[in-house]
Amino acid sequence: MPNIQLPAACALCPRRCGADRAAGQRGFCGAGDTLLAARAALHHWEEPCLSGAPEDARGSGTVFFTGCGLRCCYCQNYAISQQGAGRPLTTARLRDIFLELQAQGAYNLNLVTATQWLPWVLPALADARRRGLTLPVVYNTGGYETEDTVRALAGDVDIWLTDLKYAAPALAARLSGAQDYPAVAGTALRRMLLQTGAPVWDGAMLRRGVIVRHLVLPGQAEDSLAVLRQLAGLRRETGVPFLLSLMCQFTPFYKAAEQGLARRVTSYEYRKVVNEAVRLGLTEGYMQQKSSAREEYTPAFDGTGL
């Protein structure tokens, strides 16, 4: 486990905003000197290899952390990613939450947007393991990570659940406030693949590997096709297989309509992207039904489990 201190000039994410968080200053992501999270519970709406079958009571032991280094105008978790909802936790309490999720039968420990809180998360993980935590750790990220952070997590993360959102810098700038997203996320993903390797299974459940999510956006099918070509190139370059989760669940949350995303994805748009994935041989993974575009799939960020 690397020793990551609370930074006096924060560079944990690609923003490298330089906030003196040790002195209480909040970074671009909204994180300061007190750990914040919004929910810790069994989650049933991840990919089946993480959450189990729909009727399975176990699920993925998911901790939703407050804050984010991206500014996605359509974020379904905007209450925590951009509006700061969350409750303060100590490292000891976070450790206990990890163990409680294991005791509830979770298939894995799923850390959602945790990078800004690594000075707390990593010690909590180490202490939980000393006390009997054996679950595989899922690192659930928007993909906007530095290569250094990915390297530092090599001994702590078993499964990367990462997005690859955009291929075009201009689109990334307009929708997520991060023009460098395509280059940064591509570099991070390459490192994830090389250090984590091919999927390792325990029956139907994933124990190790990389899942790449891509959300098809309304009116942006051409960018999705470019993302798929980038993914096919990474697979050829690294020789490492991964699971592709191709999603059509876009719902116009938050400020999406202000950026022209006021509708859901059409069946034609989604099918066009699926057909390209098949053509490129990206057939290991998951597709979604159009019924996935529903508001109720977003959990309540009400402090459950904290």
Domain holding 248: CATH number? 3.20.20.70
Single pTM value for the model: 0.96
pLDDT, tens digit, for every residue of 157-201? 999 999 999 999 999 999 999 999 999 999 999 999 999 999 999
Higher model confidence: residue 23 or residue 292?
A: 23
Residue 7 belongs to a domain = no
Question: Is the predicted pLDDT of residue 296 greater than 60, yes or no?
Answer: no
* Residue 29 placed within a domain: no
Distance, first Cα to last Cα, the chain: 24
The pLDDT score that the predictor gives to residue 7 is 87
pLDDT tens for residues 12-61?
A: 999 999 999 999 999 999 999 999 999 999 999 999 999 998 788 899 99
Total domain count, the chain: 1
Residue 287 sits at φ, ψ, to 5 deg, of: -120, 170
Cα atoms found within 13 Å of the Cα of residue 264, Cβ hemisphere only? 14
Q: Is residue 18 assigned to a domain?
A: no
Position 2 scores a pLDDT of 60
pLDDT tier at 282 (50, 70, 90 boundaries)?
very high
What pLDDT was estimated at residue 290? 60
Q: What pLDDT sits at residue 134?
A: 98
> What is the C-alpha to C-alpha distance for residues 167 and 224, in angstroms, rounded to an integer?
7
pLDDT on residue 291:
53
In a domain, 285, yes or no: yes
For residues 14 and 144, is the Cβ–Cβ distance under 8 A? yes
Lowest mean pLDDT among 143-157, 224-238, 250-264, 287-301: 287-301
CA-to-CA distance for 95 and 38, rounded, in angstroms?
15
Is residue 1 in a domain?
no
d(CA 200, CA 159): 10
**Quick one: pLDDT at residue 298?**
78
- Burial degree of 168 (CB within 10 A; 0-12, 13-18, 19+): middle
| Angstrom distances, CA of residue 19 to CA of 9, 123, 148, 167 | 5, 22, 18, 29
Residue 148 lies inside a defined structural domain of this protein:
yes
Question: Above 90 in pLDDT, residue 293?
Answer: no
Is 14 inside a domain boundary? Answer: no
Mind listing the pLDDT tens digit for each residue in 114-163? 999 999 999 999 999 999 999 999 999 999 999 999 999 999 999 999 99
Mean pLDDT of the chain: 95
Q: In which domain, by residue range, is 289 found?
A: 35-297
CA angle 241, 47, 127 (to 5 degrees): 90
Read off the amino acid at residue 97. Answer: I
Model confidence at 295: pLDDT above 70 = no
Residue 15 lies in a domain: no
The single-letter code of the amino acid at 219 is: G
Residue 4 pLDDT grade (very low, low, confident, very high; cuts 50, 70, 90): confident
